[in-house]
């Protein structure tokens, strides 16, 4: 039987990042992935990277991750994360002004460049918006987007270069906890012994945790991304309309994409429509066209649907759920940009090194204690 210090289940961006940080520390690591890195929800992500979070720890993780994405080639020995700085504008209602002012104070202390724009300043700097219902906006200058598949494969390949091993095309089918180790069985019948296991299997985390007798309250939602060509429309800045509930960013020079900030229907992760109907694209674009009327001239290019693994408070679940069995999941549609830096904290947690005390708030069992975390604004809890 193969023996490792840590086995990771899942090579989405969270599993790949943990593998990179573990391998960097010389921890003998193996990654099981039933397909290939980033072929799950990670590879369908919109890749928006902003540090405007209401949760101070997550803001710190996002900020640190953006720094890593900027220096990705240096960190990973030549891989490219495709990071593009665009800046990002958050349109908000007046009722959130006091909360936002407090949040911005904390973000500025971390070093994140955020600026509150009153309606007049907003209208002057970003004249294309219809500001009906908007009280003010937050501008994050150094935000942008990265390529989620390139980021994940970059971290994954670097982990392998540093000594981690990969078991691709192999699904984990059983997890057995023993006195001082864990045995995992894969779809090829192989058995692997390890001191610790990290389940980073996104929407498939809850069924895997069930194999060690743990029920996690994670649900799975289907979310749509719609693509457009600018067509006759003039380019518009990357932004999220927190009240209307959508996000928007340019994709290269010819196109833009958008998605919803609100909850979506729950689905079975093994059987859901990945294609997007024209009516879904139209419905998604309605609040965008109300906010930026000249985008009515943009040309729909279809889109895709993928999965969010959602926790009851829309914040991640990270912690030990059974002896030697850890989870990092429940990222609720906002976990791509957290992963590069968060992976270091997860690696330290799994090995029992210094555990960042801020990580304890994401205890997977917090819901039973009523220790629900706050997140975002109104229905847009995805802001985190």
Q: Which residues bind ligand FAD (CB under 6 A)?
A: 9-15, 32-35, 39-42, 44-48, 171-172, 200-204, 208, 223, 225, 259, 306-308, 329, 331, 333-337
Q: Tell me whether residue 46 or residue 86 sits nearer to ligand FAD (CB atom).
A: 46
SS3 sequence of 121-169: HHHHHCCCCCCCCCCEEEEECCCEECCHHHHHHHHHHHHHHCCCEEEEC
> Which 8-state DSSP code applies to residue 228?
E
Q: How far is the CB of 300 from ligand FAD (least distance, A)?
A: 17
**What is the torsion angle, in degrees rounded to the nearest 10, for the CA atoms of residue 359, residue 365, residue 367 and residue 370?**
-80
| 257, HSE (Cβ side, Cα atoms, 13 Å) | 17
Q: Which residues have CB under 8 Å from 207's CB, separation 6+?
A: none
Q: How far is the CB of 16 from ligand FAD (least distance, A)?
A: 7
Q: Tell me whether residue 110 or residue 171 sits nearer to ligand FAD (CB atom).
A: 171
Among all residues, whose Cβ is closest to ligand FAD? Answer: 202
Q: Tell me whether residue 233 or residue 329 sits nearer to ligand FAD (CB atom).
A: 329
Q: How far is the CB of 333 from ligand FAD (least distance, A)?
A: 5
Q: Tell me whether residue 33 or residue 251 sits nearer to ligand FAD (CB atom).
A: 33
Q: Is 258 helix (H, G, I), strand (E, B) or coil?
A: strand
> Which 8-state DSSP code applies to residue 73?
H
Q: How far is the CB of 239 from ligand FAD (least distance, A)?
A: 13
- Joined together, the tokens standing for residue 261 give 């900030």
Q: Tell me whether residue 79 or residue 97 sits nearer to ligand FAD (CB atom).
A: 79
Helical ranges in 162-304 per DSSP H: 205-210, 278-291
Q: How far is the CB of 258 from ligand FAD (least distance, A)?
A: 11
Burial of 231-260, coded b for 16+ CB within 10 Å and e otherwise, reads eebeebbbbbbbbbbbbbbbbeeeebbbbb
Q: Tell me whether residue 32 or residue 129 sits nearer to ligand FAD (CB atom).
A: 32
Q: How far is the CB of 70 from ligand FAD (least distance, A)?
A: 16
Burial label, 101 (beta-carbon count in 10 A; 0-12, 13-18, 19+): exposed
């Amino acid at each position: 039987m193969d023996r490792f210090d840590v086995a990771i289940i899942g090579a989405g961006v969270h599993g790949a990042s943990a593998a990179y940080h573990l391998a960097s520390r010389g921890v003998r690591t193996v990654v099981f992935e039933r397909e290939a890195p980033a072929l799950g929800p990670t590879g369908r992500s919109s890749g928006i990277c902003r540090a405007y979070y209401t949760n101070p720890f997550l803001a710190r993780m996002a900020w640190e991750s953006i720094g890593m994405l900027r220096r990705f080639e240096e960190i990973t020995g030549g891989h490219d994360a495709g990071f593009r700085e665009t800046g990002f504008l958050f349109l908000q209602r007046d009722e959130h002004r006091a909360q936002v002012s407090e949040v911005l104070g904390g973000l500025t202390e971390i070093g994140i460049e955020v600026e509150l724009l009153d309606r007049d300043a907003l209208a002057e700097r970003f004249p294309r918006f219809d500001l009906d219902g908007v009280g003010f906006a937050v501008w994050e200058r150094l935000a942008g987007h990265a390529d989620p598949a390139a980021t994940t494969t970059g971290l994954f390949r670097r982990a392998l270069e540093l000594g981690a091993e990969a078991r691709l095309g192999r699904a984990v089918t059983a997890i057995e906890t023993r006195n001082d180790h864990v045995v995992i069985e894969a779809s090829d019948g192989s058995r692997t012994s390890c001191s610790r296991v990290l389940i980073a299997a996104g929407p498939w985390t809850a069924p895997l945790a069930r194999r060690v007798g743990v029920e996690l309250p994670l649900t799975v939602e289907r979310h749509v991304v719609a693509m457009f060509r600018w067509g006759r429309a003039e380019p518009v800045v990357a932004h999220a309309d927190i009240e209307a509930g959508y996000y928007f960013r340019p994709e290269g020079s010819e196109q833009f994409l958008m998605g919803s900030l609100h909850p979506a229907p729950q689905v079975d992760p093994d059987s859901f429509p990945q294609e997007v109907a024209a009516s879904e694209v139209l419905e998604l674009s309605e609040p965008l066209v109300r906010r930026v009327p000249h985008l009515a001239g943009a040309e729909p290019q279809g889109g895709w649907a993928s999965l969010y693994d959602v926790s009851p408070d829309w914040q991640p679940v990270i912690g030990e759920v059974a002896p030697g069995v850890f989870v990092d999941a429940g990222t609720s549609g906002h976990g791509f940009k957290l992963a590069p830096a968060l992976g270091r904290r997860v690696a330290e947690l799994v090995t029992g090194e210094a555990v960042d005390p801020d990580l304890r708030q994401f205890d997977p069992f917090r819901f039973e204690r009523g220790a629900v975390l706050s997140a975002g604004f109104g229905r847009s809890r995805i802001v985190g």
